Structure 1
Amino acid sequence: MEFTHFKDREDAGAQLARQLAQYADNPNVVVLALPRGGVPVAFKIACALHAPLDVLLVRKLGLPGHEEYAMGAIGSGGVRVLQREVVQKMHITPQQVQEVIDREAAELTRREQLFRDGRKARNLHGKIVILVDDGLATGSTMRVAVEVVRAQKPAQLIVAVPVSAIESRDMIAAEVDEMVCLSAPPLFRAVSEWYAHFNQTSDEEVQALLAKARHLDPAEEEREAELATQFIR
């Protein structure tokens, strides 16, 4: 059976960008990507809309022994979502849950330092935020991301994904101002099935795309110049 809807993440981002064209050239728009797979998708969107790109750090909490399945997620600022029904059904102990949280919190801190390169996260208060990933399976990670953004009181929160399980799409749609999802197939097993090429996105690729996005953002260049001047002084 043929599942492919997208050539790769870049193709998915280009298709999403066409659906988000109404937000182009709006100085109040910020595009946020969930690393790592969401960054190539979001980069295409940010370029098409002429909007700044940043990352929102969130980590999935995988079931012990079955890490590909999520029992929840954590995000910057201590936000945590735990699917208690999954934890109970799989007989996961509180100690096991805490061990997973501690491990993923350490990785969250590492990625903050790696991807931000000393820069502060963007202020999202009053902004139109477009939150992007390469697809939704359980939706746990995106749910935490939504909570992290909501805490900063944006003017509008849009989630944009190429493909999603129907239940996850509907869950997230109920929590945001707008949900843009290109495909929600009734039979959904994995995000990767809907891409012809779904290679692992590396840390280096994320860093390169973020650096390129900063170079394309005039406001970011002005901030860089100001920081350089302060350093010289």
Structure 2
Amino acid sequence: MFENREDAGERLAELLADRGVEADVVLGIPRGALPVARPVADRLDADLDVIVARKMGAPHNEELAIGAVASDGSVWRNDDLIERLGVDDAHVEREAERTAESAREKLETYRGTTDPPGVRGRKVVVVDDGVATGATARACLRQVRDGGAERIVLAVPVGSPDSLAALESFADDVYAVEEPAGFRAVGQYYHDFGQVSDAEARRYLDR
């Protein structure tokens, strides 16, 4: 159990340092990952920046993710779910376009530009505050891979064991402080898991 996101970040930073992880840049997924990513970047003596992805919602149920899209248009599709729900290609394409635009807008909020951070030839650690389905993490990791990163690490305080295992094919290494067998939701492992505003999240970038 973590007190809050900053406590989770400190414990995650300790884990990564103990494992000898090196990074040129740490990329937090706004908004909730920035308080976690700041201690990680400080401990690894790395730059802190952001990477943005948004979930694609199923027809008539936007909360059910049929995939995710990063700000550069990198798409991860949950093909099994898409097939099971009978979602047609036209919906997926429309949702991908809409979601990519939303991700670009969010990126501009944080970086002042729709250009993603440069990762070519760099050691990159992608940080989130936890992994449930891992949809957004998949899209983010795909963007970093396509961007030519030298090495990619996904690091989270807590996550579903099944989702973390599935994410191993998207990164060179995946680290989590806790992988509880009875995982249900990220927030259940934090005493304080309140919403993080864009303004608050941006302050972690300015430190």
Q: Give TM-score, length-normalised by structure 1.
A: 0.81
**Contact 1:24/1:51, CA 8 A, preserved across alignment:** no
Equivalent residue number for residue 128 of structure 2: 133
- 1:83 and 2:78 are equivalent in the alignment: yes
Unpaired runs of 5+ in structure 1?
Answer: 213-233
Distance 2:103 2:56 in 1: 12
Q: In structure 2, do the counterparts of structure 1 residues 119 and 143 end up closer, same or farther at CA, with 3 Å as the change threshold?
A: closer
- 1:104 and 2:84 are equivalent in the alignment: no
Equivalent residue number for residue 8 of structure 2: 12
Q: In structure 2, do the counterparts of structure 1 residues 49 and 161 end up closer, same or farther at CA, with 3 Å as the change threshold?
A: same
- Once the two structures are superposed, the pairs formed by residues 13-162 of structure 1 within 5 Å of their partners are 13-21=9-17, 29-118=24-113, 120-162=115-157
The one-letter code sitting in structure 1 at the alignment partner of 2:141 is V
Distance 1:37 1:102 in 2: 24
The one-letter code sitting in structure 1 at the alignment partner of 2:51 is L
Shift of 1:120: 4.6
Structure 1 runs of 4+ aligned residues shifted over 4 Å read 22-26
Q: What is the DSSP-based 3-state SS (H/G/I as helix, E as strand, rest coil) of the residue aligned with 1:67?
A: strand
The one-letter code sitting in structure 1 at the alignment partner of 2:136 is T
Distance 2:187 2:142 in 1: 25
Q: What is the DSSP-based 3-state SS (H/G/I as helix, E as strand, rest coil) of the residue aligned with 2:46?
A: coil
Unpaired runs of 5+ in structure 2?
Answer: none
**Greater helix share, structure number:** 1
Q: What is the DSSP-based 3-state SS (H/G/I as helix, E as strand, rest coil) of the residue aligned with 2:35?
A: helix
Distance 1:202 1:65 in 2: 27
C-alpha deviations, 1:196-231, integer Å up to 9, x for none? 11111111112222122xxxxxxxxxxxxxxxxxxx
C-alpha deviations, 1:96-136, integer Å up to 9, x for none? 43443343223112112211024853321111101100111
Shift of 1:25: 11
Shift of 1:154: 1.6
Identity of aligned residues (%): 34
Q: Give TM-score, length-normalised by structure 2.
A: 0.90
**Contact 1:25/1:51, CA 8 A, preserved across alignment:** no
Please identify the structure whose Cα radius of gyration is greater: 1
Distance 1:190 1:145 in 2: 20
